[in-house]
Structure formats: C-alpha cells, structure tokens
Amino acid sequence: MRKVKIYVTLRESVLDPQGSAVMGSLHKMGYGEVKDVRIGKYLELMISDEARDIDALVNEMCHKLLTNTVIEDYRFEIEEAVSQ
C-alpha cells in the first residue's frame, strides 16, 4: 500500500479572496509582518501496490477530477504505507 500526499495550490495569477480575508484578520491580530496568505488543499490517497504506473495514475486523477488546472497547481509525494 502506498500513501499519496497531494498538495493543491491556487495559481499565482489567481486572486485568493479567502487568503486575503485571513491575512486581514492576521493583520488585525497584530501580525503585520504577514505579507501574503494563500489557501490550498491537502489530499491523502491510499493506493494499492498492484496499481499501474502510480505517477501516471495520480496525474491522471488530478487532471480529471482532483484539481482544476485552469486555476490550480499541484504536486505530490508517494510514501510506502503499512496496510491495516
């Protein structure tokens, strides 16, 4: 079994109103040194060992469903995991 950790982030060209709102709050709380906040997503997938080419598989799933490449970038890591 392998654990795939996928990090999804908004592309730099895309405004992040949620991140801006959080930055506003941080500033109000006195953390003026924060210059930018971008909010993304983190996904974990458990994938069985018999899966075909795992990199290709994850990329395919990211393009078809997990991310929208018009506005999002992603990267992922693969770890060996002990199945339960």
Partner 1 sequence: MKFAVIVFPGSNCDLDMYHAVKDELGEQAEYVWHDATDLSHYDGILLPGGFSYGDYLRCGAIAQSSAIMGEVRKAAEAGKPVLGICNGFQILTEAGLLPGVLLRNKNMKFMCKTVGLKVENATTLFTSEYTDGQEIQIPIAHGEGNYYCDDATYEGLKQNNQIVFSYADDFNGSRNNIAGIINERGNVLGMMPHPERAVSDLIGGSDGLALFKSIVKQWREANVTHA
Q: Which residues bind partner 1 (CB under 8 A)?
A: 13-15, 17-18, 21, 64-66, 68, 70-71
- Helix or strand (DSSP H, E) at 3: strand 2-10
13 or 48, CB closer to partner 1? Answer: 13
If DSSP codes are grouped into helix, strand and coil, which group holds residue 16? coil
Residue 80 near residue 47 (C-beta atoms within 8 A):
no
Least spacing, CB of residue 40 vs partner 1, in Å: 12
Q: How far is the CB of 24 from partner 1 (least distance, A)?
A: 10
Q: Distance from first CA to last CA of the chain, Å, rounded?
A: 9
Q: For partner 1, give the closer residue by CB, 36 or 80.
A: 36
